[in-house]
Amino acid sequence: MTIKPVGRRVLVKRIEEETKKGGIIIPDTAKEKPQQGEVIEVADVGKDDDPLPVTKGDRILFGKYAGTEFEIDGVEHLVLNEDDILGIIKK
């Protein structure tokens, strides 16, 4: 299945964080949802509009309760508005 966001939105796949910290394994029930993701798809914007600040493949930070969640082929994804993106992770 392919989803193309519209408006000024992006499709993001959550990036799971490590489940082991300092030798202690954190159970699934105690984990918080990750607030990082990889941009999978970016909406097309009109030629008179400013381009979105992210591109496919960027790693981003977003708010804990941002976006709309759904599953594609058993993998959790989000559709985020441009304003929900807090930053781009550069390595």
The residue behind tokens 């097309």 is 44
The strand pairing partners of 69, in sequence order, are 78
pLDDT given for residue 2 in this prediction: 81
Instruction: Kindly report whether the global pTM for this prediction surpasses the value 0.95.
Output: no
% of the chain with per-residue pLDDT over 70: 86
- Tokens coding 55: 């591109």
Instruction: Tell me the pLDDT tens digit for each residue of 21-59.
Output: 567 776 666 566 778 999 999 999 888 889 999 999 999
Domains of the chain, residue spans: 9-16+32-89
**In this structure, which topology does domain 9-16+32-89 adopt according to CATH?**
10 Kd Chaperonin, Protein Cpn10; Chain O (2.30.33)
Distance of CA 46 to the CA centre of its chain: 23
